[in-house]
Chain A
Amino acid sequence: MYARILGFAAVAACLAMPVSAAVALGDAAGTYSISPATSSIRFSIGKVGGGGLNGSFARFKGSIRIDNGDVGRSEVNFTIFPESVGTGQGRIDAFLRSDAVFDAANSPEIRFRSTSVTRTSDTTALVAGRLTARGKTYPEKFTAELGGLKGGTIKFHVTGKVLRSRYGMDVGTPIYSNIVDFDMMLTGKRG
């Protein structure tokens, strides 16, 4: 009886704890594959006079490997299929898929391969890597924040800014900003 009460208390205490205190990157060691169904990759491009163009990719895949001993040796890889871009406006989607922007017919994948992971706090890391789109590869950096780890499912909130002009996608500047703000909620399943 006492044991059961203590057990409830421990669960309650865990639930009450903030995520950052409850899960640390070091505890999350393992390999995870990103589940597109419970993840999202959103982007936003500001435009002159305010507002912006917001969209997301429906199809992508990827994996996250958190190194057991050294978080710095962790790896993040993901591939986005630009054909799946969606902005809520069909004509803009067609424009983005066309050779004006993604050229999805000839360049069906946008790939990111991490080159280094630098831990910046208990729950955050700076992920540097190489982004390849339309045949062009440049170093990019993303900030990853651990959102939670539960039953082999890990959540990350990943943000970063990418200059689209580098990848031959500068159409529409300066009406639309050259900076693409990425906001990804990635859910990975262990194994």
Chain B
Amino acid sequence: MVQTRLPFMQSAITNTATRYGWATILLHWLIALIFLGQLGLGFVMVRLTSQRTAFELIQLHKSLGFLLLGLIILRIAWRLGNSTPPLPLSVGQCERRTAPLAHLALYAFQLALPLSGWALVSVSTLEIPSLPFNLFIMPNLPLAESDAAESFWAAAHWYLAYAGMALVTVHIAAALRHHFQLGDAVLKRMITPSSE
């Protein structure tokens, strides 16, 4: 019996010892897209003269932030439940040690950024409810509301965004270095499961 195998078939969804599966790849790029969009949105929405557009963009930023938080939790759970293909043999000792730390830091920032945003809206004295994509009410975190707490979490969210941006820049630079300078499959294996 002849069986046609499509790239999305089950065998290519999970990771193996030699490559990433579609689930990891799609989560990676979906999160990357939303994460970069959120950085841009965050900078623009607080610099607008139209308060109406600002309000609407802030609500969109909150909606995407909650979506991101859900996707990141899914991604971390997926990563913990799946094997991770090792770095190519050509990668040196120094990078072999620092890459997992950089990835750990990336996961930490991906969690900390939406959580700090959630804390910010929870303690805000504006008391604006969260209604992600106008679908459901997201309850506030159990934190006391005050102007001081709002300033603190706004600053925390802001600094985490800057630090996260720096980390993402290093991550992109490393991926490009692997692809163009080292000529290995580190970037390619995050694009399709069958690059090698």
A residues contacting B by CB (< 8 A) are: 47-49, 51, 89, 91-92, 94-95, 98-100, 171-172, 174-175
Bound-complex Cα distance A79 to B156 (A): 45
A-B contacts at CB below 8 angstroms, number: 35
Using known A-B contacts A174-B134, A175-B59, determine if residue A48 contacts B51 with beta carbons closer than 8 Å. no
Within 8 A of A (CB), among B127-165: 127-129, 131, 134, 137, 139
Is B181 among interface residues, defined by CB-CB distance under 8 A?
A: no
Give the distance in Å from the alpha carbon of A60 to the alpha carbon of B139 in the complex: 38
Is there an interface contact between A92 and B126, defined as CB atoms closer than 8 Å?
Answer: yes
> Are B55 and A100 neighbours in the complex by a CB distance under 8 Å?
yes
Residues in B neighbouring A99, C-beta threshold 8 A: 50-52
User: Is A171 a contact of B52 with CB atoms below 8 Å?
Assistant: yes
Residues of A within 8 A of B56 (CB): 171
On B, residues with C-beta under 8 Å from A are 50-52, 54-56, 59, 125-129, 131, 134, 137, 139
A48-B137, A49-B137 are known contacts. Are A175 and B51 too (CB-CB below 8 A)? no
Q: Is the CB of A49 within 8 A of B129?
A: yes
* B128 partner residues in chain A, CB cutoff 8 A: 175
Most buried by A among B50, B51, B131, B137: B51
With A48-B137, A49-B137, A99-B50 in contact, do A171 and B55 touch (Cβ < 8 Å)? yes
Most chain A CB inside 10 Å of its own CB: which residue of B52, B126, B137: B52
- Given A48-B137, A99-B52, A171-B55: A89 and B129 interface contact (C-beta under 8 Å): no
Given A47-B129, A89-B126, check contact A100 B137 (CB 8 Å). no
A100 with B50: in contact, given A171-B56, A172-B55, A175-B131 (CB under 8 Å)? yes
Q: Give the residue name and chain of the B residue nearest to A169 (CB).
A: B52
Contact: B126 with A174, CB < 8 Å?
Answer: no
In the complex, the answer to whether A95 meets B51 with C-beta atoms within 8 Å is yes
Distance between A28 CB and nearest chain B CB, rounded to angstroms: 41
A154 to B130: give the CA distance in the assembly, Å. Answer: 44
**B55 adjacent to A174 (CB under 8 Å):** no
Q: What are 18 inter-chain pairs, A to B, with CB distance below 8 A?
A: A47-B129, A48-B129, A48-B131, A49-B137, A89-B125, A91-B126, A94-B51, A95-B51, A98-B51, A99-B51, A100-B50, A100-B51, A100-B52, A100-B55, A171-B55, A174-B131, A175-B59, A175-B131
Q: Give bound CA distance, A100 to B57, whole Å.
A: 13
Give chain B residues whose Cβ lies under 8 Å from the Cβ of A48: 129, 131, 137
**Residues of B contacting A92 with CB < 8 Å?**
126
Decide: B129 and A95 in contact? CB cutoff 8 A: no
Give chain A nearest CB distance to B63 CB in angstroms.
Answer: 11
